[in-house]
Amino acid sequence: MGIREKLEDRIKRKEQEIQEYEAKIRESRAYVQALQDAAKLLPREEARGGGAEAVLRPGGSAHKAFQALDAAEKPLHITEILKAIGMANTPKNRISVGGTLARYARNKEIFLRTAPNTFSLLSKNGAEEPPDDFGVTSTSEEDE
């Protein structure tokens, strides 16, 4: 076998190796895509440690409304929320902020609609998660 044949053989083996790697990459990309699709189907969870405020985009109207409702510690009408976050009480702002808060309320996330155009925080209305020891049974010797 001459040098030319050896080189062609090496080229052929490397091309086959490249095809195997490309197949693995395609499989991995398909797997990642499937995981991303599955993650989209799951309900949105609040960020650990930060609570609901960490889920909201800082500086956004929903984040500001969260802070205003948290400070007020009671349900507020949309006009009061707009005033608290420093936005003008215009129909456009009422619809925009009210719609955003209503979407969260419909999904039972962060906000709760207590009356028409009136919102409060879920955590302020007894909808908090159960304590960490909820459902844990003691297995000490005293119980036996």
Give the model confidence (pLDDT) of 4-24 as tens digits: 999 999 999 999 999 999 999
Q: Over the chain, what is the mean pLDDT?
A: 83
Residue 12 lies in a domain: yes
The C-alpha atoms of residue 114 and residue 126 are separated, in whole angstroms, by 13
80 in the same domain as 57: yes
The domain total for the chain is 2
Residue 75 lies in a domain: yes
Residue 1: pLDDT band with limits 50, 70, 90: confident
pLDDT at 47: 44
Please list, in sequence order, all residues whose beta carbon lies within 8 angstroms of the beta carbon of residue 67, skipping any fewer than 6 positions away.
53, 85
Residue 117 lies in a domain: yes
84 in the same domain as 112: yes
Residue 59 domain boundaries: 52-125
Q: Is the pTM of this model over 0.85?
A: no
Residue 131 lies in a domain: no
Residue 13 lies in a domain: yes
113 in the same domain as 57: yes
